[in-house]
């Protein structure tokens, strides 16, 4: 799975005139994530604090953290793609140094997703940053 860079995502979203088109782009990004098998969707991999089910699997090799994710909601799968563009296949230091709040502000996400989705997004980011701190 090769997602666009965070810079490309920012540029792509800026191209669209309205949020209906931006949502579709985010959903399409989510469709590019392979997801997880039923066997991988275990309770211990669920990210707490999300309204929808979100599963996160982390692997660490050679100072690089990779993530496999899945959700049962298409818009959340798209939001996961935005997060993966920032954090997947990076060093723990790069994950912890990345200005995720600035990235979300640039995307203007918080004004266009429900508060519960926003809380879930912060829970996912928090979980990834916690994993990065464990490896740092």
- Beta-sheet pairing, 64-71 with 54-61: antiparallel
Give the HSE-up count for residue 96: Cα atoms under 13 Å, Cβ half-sphere. 11
**CA–CA separation, 27 and 122 (whole Å):** 19
Judge whether 84 and 69 are in contact, CB under 8 Å.
Answer: yes
**Which residue has 């502000």 as its token pair?**
105
50 is catalytic: yes
Long-range contacts formed by 96-104: CB under 8 A, 24+ apart: 96/129, 96/132, 96/133, 96/136, 100/125, 103/6, 103/10
Write down the catalytic residue from 9, 47, 50, 80.
50
- For the annotated catalytic residues, the residue numbers are 50
């Amino acid at each position: 799975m090769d997602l666009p860079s965070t810079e490309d995502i920012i540029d792509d979203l800026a191209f669209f005139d309205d949020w209906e088109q931006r949502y579709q782009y985010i959903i399409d990004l989510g469709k590019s994530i392979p997801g997880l098998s039923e066997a991988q969707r275990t309770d211990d991999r669920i990210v707490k604090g999300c309204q929808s089910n979100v599963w996160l699997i982390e692997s660490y090799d050679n100072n690089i953290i990779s993530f496999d994710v899945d959700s049962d909601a298409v818009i959340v799968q798209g939001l996961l793609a935005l997060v993966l563009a920032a954090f997947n296949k990076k060093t723990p230091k790069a994950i912890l140094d990345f200005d995720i709040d600035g990235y979300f502000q640039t995307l203007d996400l918080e004004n266009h997703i429900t508060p519960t989705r926003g809380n879930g997004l912060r829970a996912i980011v928090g979980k990834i940053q916690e994993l990065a701190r464990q490896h740092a």
